[in-house]
Amino acid sequence: MTPTGQRPAWDDYFMDIANLVARRSTCLRRAVGAVLVKEHRVLSTGYNGAPAKIRHCAEVGCLRESMNIESGQRHELCRGIHAEQNAIIQAAYHGVAIRGASLYCTNLPCAICTKMLINAGLTEICYQEGYADELSAALLEEAGIRLRQVKGGS
């Protein structure tokens, strides 16, 4: 029990973790955290930043920012990996099956991450804030993956 006797609801608990994970982000534009969960257990986490052994944007600057590229556009020019991608990669790296899991993410995944999450077999996406990518929600609906906005969390 907490000192107040209140335990957070599961959605709040996992979204709080996603917000904490986002604090590790090295992106200069947006800090995003992702948590893969199954049966109330954390399987994997990820935040957005450059791949291992590659300098982060916080060190070398943001190419997309210097080119005035709008949010949600030209992802291929970013040296970073999205939080959702890193969560999937970490699970694979450590041999953790994520089929049937839910994703808690501080932001609605972009269309690229959404396609990866669909193929990874996720059943639900819980997000805190929207994202400038309308295709994502349409793909999730077509794939039959539940999409919920969760206002809780830090």
For the stretch 53-98, pLDDT in tens is: 988 888 888 777 777 777 767 766 677 889 999 999 999 999 999 9
Selecting among 70, 76, 84, 141, the annotated active-site residue is 84
Summarised one tens digit per residue, pLDDT across range 112-139 is 999 999 999 999 999 998 876 788 889 9
Class level of CATH domain 10-49+81-149: alpha beta
Q: How far apart are the C-alpha atoms of 71 and 150, rounded to whole Å?
A: 22
The span from the CA of 69 to the CA of 133, in Å, is 14
Say what the pLDDT of residue 8 is: 94
Per the annotation, binding residues for Zn(2+) are: 82, 110, 113
Separation in Å, CA 101 to CA 125, 143, 145:
9, 15, 11
Number of H helices, E strands in the chain: 6, 5
Query: Would you call 65 a catalytic residue per the annotation?
Result: no
Kindly report the pTM of this predicted structure: 0.89
Instruction: Print burial letters for 32-67: b (CB count within 10 Å at least 16), e (below 16).
Output: bbbbbbbeeeebbbbbbbbeeeeeebeeeebebeee
